[in-house]
C-alpha cells in the first residue's frame, strides 16, 4: 500500500465569533511519500492547521481530503493519522515496551501481533536495548524516539509531527534529525512536519510552506526556497543570517544600473535593467534582496558603496560582520583566515613539501562573484579575512555581483521574475560605450 495523498482546500478556522482568524483560506497538497513542512513563527496558525487534519478541531470552512475522500466528518480516531507531539507525552511510569504497545492494545490487536510489531519498531528505532526500561528514565531524545515509535507501530497512513525536536537540547538535535531522515527514506510515509525552526524544515522536508498570520505566503521545493524567496518576508525569515534588504529606485545609467536609496546611491556596473522592469517606469519602488554570503567586503575605496563595521560575530569557520550602511543595517559573511605560521611558507608562495590543493586565489584579491559553476568543487564563500582585524567603527567598502540580487516589488513585496541582466564587458582596455 502506498502512502496516501493529502489535500487541504480553502481551509479556514475562525475563533471567537469571527474575532480571530487563526487559519485563513489555505490550500496545500502532500503527495504520496512526501514530507511537507509548515514553517512559521509561533501564532502563525500552523498548529491549528495540524489539529484540523488530525480531527481535534473542525474547520470553519474548507475541505480536507485523504486520497480524494473528504475526512472533515470522520472522527479523529478513525482518520488513520498519527500525531507526535512536541512534549513527547510518553507514559513515564510504563516501560518502553508498554508505551509502544499502547496504541495496538487499545485497538484490541492480537497479542502475538503486538509483540512482533513492537519488536520490529523498537529495532528500527534502536530501542531494543531499553524495551524494559521505564520511559521516564530515558534521555530526551530517547523519549522522543519512543513517542515516534508509539505512533509508527499503529502504521498510520499519514504522520504528523508537531515541533518534535523543540524540547530536545540543541546538541541532541542533529542526531534526531538524521534519524528522522532515515525513517523518511525507509518508510516513505506522507508526513506533515510543523516547526518554527528553519533548520529542521530545510533539512527534513521535500517542500516548505511558510505561514504568516494564518496564510501560506510561499510554498516551494526546499532546495529552491532559499535562493528564490517569493516574498520579502520569506527572504527576511529564512537563512542565518537572513537576506539583506535595501529599498529604493532603479534606473539604467552609464552601462550599469543605478540604485537610489533614500540615503545613498549605488552604481552596479556592467549590467542592465531587463525590459520588463524598464517598462514599469522610473518611479517604481523596489526592494533589493541579497544574501549575506554574497555581499563582499573590500577596502573602502574599492567598494560600490560604503558602510561602517558595527561588530563581528564569530560562528566557527566563518563570521558574520554587522554593518551600518548609511543608516541601513547590513550583514556580511566572511571566512576565517588562519595566518601562516611562522615556520610555514610565506603567504603567496606554496611550500614544495606541501602543495596546496585549493584553487588559485583570485589575482585581484577580492572576487566579485561566487555563483560558481556546478562542476566546480569550490563552495560559494566570501574571501578569507582575519576576523580579529575587522574592528568596530572601521569603514568598509561593499560590492555585490548584480546576478546575486533578487528583485522584489517595493509595494507588494512580491518577488519579480526578472533580475538585473549582466552585460558582458569587452576586453578592450579603453572605456567602452554602453553595450546596453
Partner 1 sequence: MTTTTAGAESPPGVPVLEARELSKRYGRKTALDRISFSVPPESFVVILGPAGAGKTTTLRLLAGLEQESGGEMLMDGRSVAGLEPKDRDIAMIFDNLALYPHKSGFQNMAAPLLERRMPREEIRRRVDAVAAKLRIAHVLERLPKTMSGGERQRTALGRALVRSPRAFLLDEPLSSLDAPLRFELRAELKRLQREEGHTFLMATPDFTEALAVADTVLLLRSGKIVQAAPPEDLYDCPADCAAALFVGSPQIAVLHAELREGLIHCAGLALPLPAVLEEAAEHMRGAGADGFLLGIRPENVRVLLSFPSAPETGGQTDIPGARRHAVGQVTDIESLGLRSVITVRCGREQLRMLCSAAQRAQIRIGQDLAFTPADLERLTAFDRRTGMNIGRRTGRRTFSPCFNPQ
List the interface residues with partner 1, window 329-358 (CB under 8 A). Answer: 336-344, 347-348, 350-358
Q: Does the footprint of partner 1 cover residue 384 (CB under 8 A)?
A: yes
Element (H, E) at 122: helix 111-124
Q: How far is the CB of 270 from partner 1 (least distance, A)?
A: 23
Binding mask 75-104 for partner 1 (x = CB under 8 A): ------------------------------
Element (H, E) at 222: helix 222-225
Phi/psi zone of residue 340: left (φ > 0), alpha (ψ -120 to 50 degrees), beta? Answer: beta
Q: Does the footprint of partner 1 cover residue 199 (CB under 8 A)?
A: yes
Please list, residue by residue across 330-348, b when 16 or more beta carbons sit within 10 angstroms of its beta carbon and e when fewer do: bbbbbeeeeeeeeeeeeee
Closest to 218 (Cα-Cα) out of 38, 400, 416: 38
Closest to 293 (Cα-Cα) out of 243, 359, 327: 243
Q: Which residue shows C-alpha cell 498510520?
A: 156
Q: How far is the CB of 259 from partner 1 (least distance, A)?
A: 23
Whether the CA torsion 263, 331, 238, 399 is positive or negative: it is positive
Dist CA 149 CA 140 (whole Å): 14
Q: Which is nearer to partner 1, 128 or 199 (CB)?
A: 199
- What 8-state DSSP symbol labels residue 231? B
Q: Which of 372, 409, 421, 422 binds partner 1 (CB under 8 A)?
A: 372
Dist CA 187 CA 3 (whole Å): 9
Q: How many residues bind partner 1 (CB under 8 A)?
A: 85
Q: How far is the CB of 90 from partner 1 (least distance, A)?
A: 21
Q: How far is the CB of 421 from partner 1 (least distance, A)?
A: 21
Angle at 47 between CA 44 and CA 48, to 5 degrees: 85
Residues 6+ positions from 291 with CB-CB distance below 8 Å: 239, 243, 244, 404
Q: How far is the CB of 261 from partner 1 (least distance, A)?
A: 22
Q: Does the footprint of partner 1 cover residue 287 (CB under 8 A)?
A: no
Q: How far is the CB of 383 from partner 1 (least distance, A)?
A: 5
Q: Does the footprint of partner 1 cover residue 139 (CB under 8 A)?
A: no
Q: Which is nearer to partner 1, 56 or 344 (CB)?
A: 344
Q: How far is the CB of 394 from partner 1 (least distance, A)?
A: 5
Q: In this structure, are residues 349 and 334 in contact, taking their beta carbons and an 8 Å threshold?
A: no
Dist CA 422 CA 402 (whole Å): 7
CA 87 from centre of chain? 23
- Segment lying near partner 1 (by CB under 8 A), choices 4-12, 24-32, 265-273, 381-389: 381-389
Q: Which is nearer to partner 1, 271 or 298 (CB)?
A: 298
Q: Which of 297, 321, 330, 407 binds partner 1 (CB under 8 A)?
A: 297
- Segment lying near partner 1 (by CB under 8 A), choices 6-14, 137-145, 218-226, 427-435: 218-226
Q: How far is the CB of 249 from partner 1 (least distance, A)?
A: 28
Q: Which is nearer to partner 1, 112 or 377 (CB)?
A: 377
Q: Which of 15, 299, 425, 432 binds partner 1 (CB under 8 A)?
A: 299
Q: How far is the CB of 37 from partner 1 (least distance, A)?
A: 11
Q: Does the footprint of partner 1 cover residue 390 (CB under 8 A)?
A: yes
Q: In this structure, are residues 222 and 181 in contact, taking their beta carbons and an 8 Å threshold?
A: no
Q: Which is nearer to partner 1, 153 or 161 (CB)?
A: 161
Q: Does the footprint of partner 1 cover residue 396 (CB under 8 A)?
A: yes
Binding mask 174-193 for partner 1 (x = CB under 8 A): x--xx--xx--x--------
CA 249 from centre of chain? 29
Q: Does the footprint of partner 1 cover residue 227 (CB under 8 A)?
A: yes
Dist CA 269 CA 376 (whole Å): 26
Q: How far is the CB of 380 from partner 1 (least distance, A)?
A: 6
Q: How far is the CB of 317 from partner 1 (least distance, A)?
A: 4
Please list, residue by residue across 38-52, b when 16 or more beta carbons sit within 10 angstroms of its beta carbon and e when fewer do: bbbeeebbbbbbbbb
Grid coordinates of 111: 497479542
Q: Which residue shows C-alpha cell 601562516?
A: 340
Dist CA 329 CA 396 (whole Å): 13
Binding mask 19-58 for partner 1 (x = CB under 8 A): ----------------------xx----------------
Q: Does the footprint of partner 1 cover residue 327 (CB under 8 A)?
A: no
Amino acid at each position: 500500500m502506498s502512502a496516501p495523498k493529502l489535500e487541504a482546500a480553502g481551509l479556514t478556522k475562525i475563533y471567537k465569533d469571527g474575532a480571530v482568524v487563526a487559519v485563513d483560506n489555505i490550500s496545500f497538497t502532500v503527495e504520496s511519500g512526501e514530507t511537507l513542512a509548515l514553517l512559521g513563527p509561533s501564532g502563525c496558525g500552523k498548529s491549528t492547521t495540524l489539529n484540523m487534519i488530525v480531527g481535534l478541531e473542525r474547520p470553519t470552512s474548507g475541505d480536507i481530503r485523504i486520497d480524494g475522500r473528504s475526512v472533515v466528518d470522520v472522527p479523529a480516531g478513525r482518520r488513520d493519522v498519527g500525531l507526535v507531539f512536541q512534549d513527547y507525552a510518553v507514559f513515564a511510569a510504563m516501560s518502553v515496551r508498554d508505551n509502544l504497545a499502547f496504541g495496538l492494545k487499545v485497538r484490541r490487536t492480537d497479542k502475538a501481533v503486538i509483540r512482533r510489531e513492537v519488536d520490529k519498531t523498537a529495532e528500527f528505532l534502536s530501542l531494543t536495548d531499553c524495551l524494559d526500561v521505564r520511559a521516564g528514565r530515558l534521555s530526551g531524545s530517547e523519549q522522543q524516539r519512543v513517542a515516534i515509535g508509539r505512533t509508527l507501530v499503529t502504521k498510520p497512513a499519514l504522520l504528523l509531527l508537531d515541533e518534535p525536536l523543540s524540547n530536545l537540547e540543541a546538541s541532541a538535535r542533529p542526531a534526531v534529525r538524521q534519524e528522522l531522515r532515515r525513517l523518511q527514506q525507509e518508510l516513505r510515509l506522507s508526513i506533515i512536519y510543523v516547526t518554527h525552526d528553519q533548520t529542521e524544515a530545510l533539512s527534513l522536508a521535500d517542500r516548505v510552506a511558510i505561514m504568516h498570520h494564518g496564510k501560506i505566503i510561499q510554498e516551494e521545493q526546499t532546495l529552491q526556497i532559499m535562493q528564490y524567496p517569493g516574498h520579502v518576508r520569506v527572504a527576511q525569515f529564512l537563512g542565518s543570517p537572513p537576506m539583506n534588504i535595501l529599498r529604493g529606485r532603479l534606473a539604467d545609467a552609464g552601462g550599469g544600473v543605478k540604485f537610489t536609496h533614500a540615503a545613498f546611491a549605488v552604481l552596479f556596473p556592467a549590467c542592465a535593467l531587463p525590459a520588463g522592469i524598464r517598462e514599469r517606469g522610473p518611479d517604481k519602488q523596489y526592494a533589493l534582496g541579497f544574501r549575506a554570503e554574497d555581499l563582499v567586503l573590500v577596502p573602502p575605496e574599492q567598494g560600490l558603496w560604503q558602510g561602517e563595521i558595527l561588530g563581528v560575530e564569530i560562528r566557527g569557520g566563518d563570521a558574520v560582520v554587522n554593518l551600518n550602511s548609511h543608516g541601513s543595517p547590513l550583514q556580511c559573511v566572511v571566512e576565517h583566515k588562519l595566518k601562516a605560521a611562522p615556520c610555514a611558507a610565506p603567504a603567496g608562495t606554496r611550500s614544495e613539501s606541501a602543495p596546496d590543493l585549493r584553487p588559485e586565489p583570485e589575482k585581484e584579491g577580492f572576487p566579485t562573484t561566487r555563483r560558481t559553476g556546478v562542476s566546480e568543487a569550490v563552495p560559494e564563500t566570501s574571501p578569507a579575512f582575519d576576523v580579529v582585524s575587522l574592528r568596530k567603527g572601521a569603514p568598509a567598502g561593499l560590492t555585490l555581483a548584480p546576478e546575486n540580487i533578487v528583485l522584489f516589488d517595493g509595494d507588494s513585496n512580491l518577488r519579480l521574475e526578472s533580475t538585473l541582466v549582466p552585460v558582458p564587458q569587452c576586453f578592450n582596455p579603453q572605456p567602452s560605450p554602453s553595450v546596453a
